[in-house]
Homo-oligomer: A and B are copies of this chain.
Amino acid sequence: MPSQKLEAISKHIDENFQFSVDRLIDWLKIPSVSTDSAFDADVLRAANWMGDQLKDMGFGTELIETDGHPVLFAELKSNNPNAPTVLYYGHYDVQPGDPFELWDTAPFEPVITDSKYGKKIVARGAEDDKGQVMTFIEAFRAWLATEGELPCNVKIMLEGEEETGSPSLADFLEKNKDKLAADICIVCDTGMWDIDTPAITSSIRGLVDATITIKGPNRDLHSGMYGGVVVNPLNALSKIVAELHDENGRVQIKDFYDGVPELTDAERADLALLNHDDDAYFGEIGLSGPAGEPEFTSVEKMWARPACDLNGIWGGYTGEGHKTVIASEANLKLSCRLVGDQDPKAILENLEAFFQERLPKDFTMTLTNHGMGVAVRLPVDSVYIQAARAGLDEIYDNPTKLIGTGGSIPAVGLIREHLGMESVMVGFGLDDDNVHSPNEKYELTCLQRGIHSHAAILEKLAEI
């Protein structure tokens, strides 16, 4: 049963929901693409936009410089002397909008359209992570508007480099330990089980990513004059990439599986109990079923097995028509998802060696790392997870599921490493939200119930 306080707050949330949507739309209009320096001014603008919102709500705010994009920090103390301190993590940067031609509407011109669940907001960042960040921001706003205070001491840390692998975060956390001190971190960047079933994510995969360029001839060549007598860099790169996996989908980088835990029978049974609907999951993206290591289920592969994927490849002539050229260089972007105790640094080194050892004669290569993070599994019996679950139970009829995710949130590992703090990951995304894809969207239902949920969780955390 919700408390009287929560009932009043919930009423306020529903009555003012349109304003919440309007604010999210305003924020989504700012193309805060962190990976592309052409958008640097917009990234800063997105941070300041949220800073102004928080200032208006009474938070003390600070935009803290890093080697890359700044971190927006905000803080508001509770009047409750026994209140715990909660650090909220999210990110204000977004993925690039391209390929633009595959969007039905412009990625940075948010629109509200019909969805199978009611209404949805379509824009880059609608879910990941601006919509998700708004679930706790608007919960604070409702608490403050209704009760004039927050039941917990709240700190907020919004970074601007999550989509590029959080390269500056470790240094930032190390330098700002005291400022960030809290009892628990709440991370809002994950998904639900389905639209009616909330989820707390207790494991995430780690990440290593890199851009690799191999170079053969010192200039582009005419393929008639040189075809058959030089090693073509595009063919050569394809040959190396082809060797990254064996026929069973196992990654062939040296020592790649060091630190990957064996799944126990009990863990496999727990995952099987979730009854993941493969037909729906793969059918929705036009595939008849899962690929990859045949001895694992798709949920096991997504949450408990590592992966290595090309994220981009390019070289030579890619325009209209044809150009009979042998390119001097070939390029790719690649990322590995890690589990258990896989060591990102060792994997990066072995990845470089994998390419280096296979380079044709006379070839050179460069590798640029964009960031890395370890895999994390949270203790599922903590009081904070119990509080989050109790909060979600106030809002949803279906019981909360404890799940993993195949995605990577470097922040979670770094927060544990540098602040000695655990994180509770509770978010309101859906599998079909098209995050990192054209037509990214966030269900208004998810936004609204997400706000309710964070309002309730905040009350439960205060009772610990």
A interface residues, Cβ below 8 angstroms from B? 34-37, 95-96, 98-99, 102, 163-165, 205, 207, 209, 211, 216-232, 234-235, 237-239, 241-245, 249, 282, 285-288, 290-293, 298, 301-302, 305-327, 330-333, 335, 337, 360-362, 370-371, 405-408, 431, 434-439
> Do residues B321 and A310 form an inter-chain contact, with CB atoms below 8 A?
no
Residue of B nearest to A322 (CB): B370
State how many angstroms separate the Cβ of A53 from the closest Cβ of chain B.
27
> Could you say which residues of chain B place their CB within 8 Å of the CB of A227?
302, 307-309, 335, 337, 406
Q: How far is the CA of A431 from the CA of B286 in the complex (A)?
A: 49
> Could you say which residues of chain B place their CB within 8 Å of the CB of A224?
205, 207, 337, 405-408
Residue of B nearest to A291 (CB): B231
> Could you say which residues of chain B place their CB within 8 Å of the CB of A249?
228
Interface centre among A165, A218, A324 (most CB of B within 10 A): A324
> Do residues B337 and A221 form an inter-chain contact, with CB atoms below 8 A?
no
Q: Contacting A313 at CB < 8 Å: which of B34, B211, B238?
A: B238
> Do residues B34 and A321 form an inter-chain contact, with CB atoms below 8 A?
yes
State how many angstroms separate the Cβ of A162 from the closest Cβ of chain B.
11
> Do residues A317 and B311 form an inter-chain contact, with CB atoms below 8 A?
yes
Residue of B nearest to A235 (CB): B310
Q: How far is the CA of A237 from the CA of B302 in the complex (A)?
A: 22
> Do residues A225 and B313 form an inter-chain contact, with CB atoms below 8 A?
no
Q: How far is the CA of A317 from the CA of B164 in the complex (A)?
A: 13
Q: Contacting A321 at CB < 8 Å: which of B225, B323, B370, B439?
A: B370
Q: How far is the CA of A220 from the CA of B306 in the complex (A)?
A: 20
State how many angstroms separate the Cβ of A418 from the closest Cβ of chain B.
22
> Do residues B219 and A285 form an inter-chain contact, with CB atoms below 8 A?
yes
> Do residues A311 and B326 form an inter-chain contact, with CB atoms below 8 A?
yes
Q: How far is the CA of A295 from the CA of B215 in the complex (A)?
A: 26
> Do residues B164 and A321 form an inter-chain contact, with CB atoms below 8 A?
yes
> Could you say which residues of chain B place their CB within 8 Å of the CB of A298?
229
Q: Contacting A361 at CB < 8 Å: which of B288, B310, B312?
A: B288
> Do residues A311 and B316 form an inter-chain contact, with CB atoms below 8 A?
yes
> Do residues B333 and A323 form an inter-chain contact, with CB atoms below 8 A?
yes
Q: How far is the CA of A305 from the CA of B227 in the complex (A)?
A: 10
Q: How far is the CA of A378 from the CA of B323 in the complex (A)?
A: 26
> Could you say which residues of chain B place their CB within 8 Å of the CB of A371?
322
> Could you say which residues of chain B place their CB within 8 Å of the CB of A332?
234
> Do residues B326 and A35 form an inter-chain contact, with CB atoms below 8 A?
no
> Do residues B434 and A219 form an inter-chain contact, with CB atoms below 8 A?
yes
> Do residues A312 and B234 form an inter-chain contact, with CB atoms below 8 A?
yes
> Could you say which residues of chain B place their CB within 8 Å of the CB of A242?
235, 238-239, 241-243
> Do residues B311 and A229 form an inter-chain contact, with CB atoms below 8 A?
no
> Could you say which residues of chain B place their CB within 8 Å of the CB of A231?
291
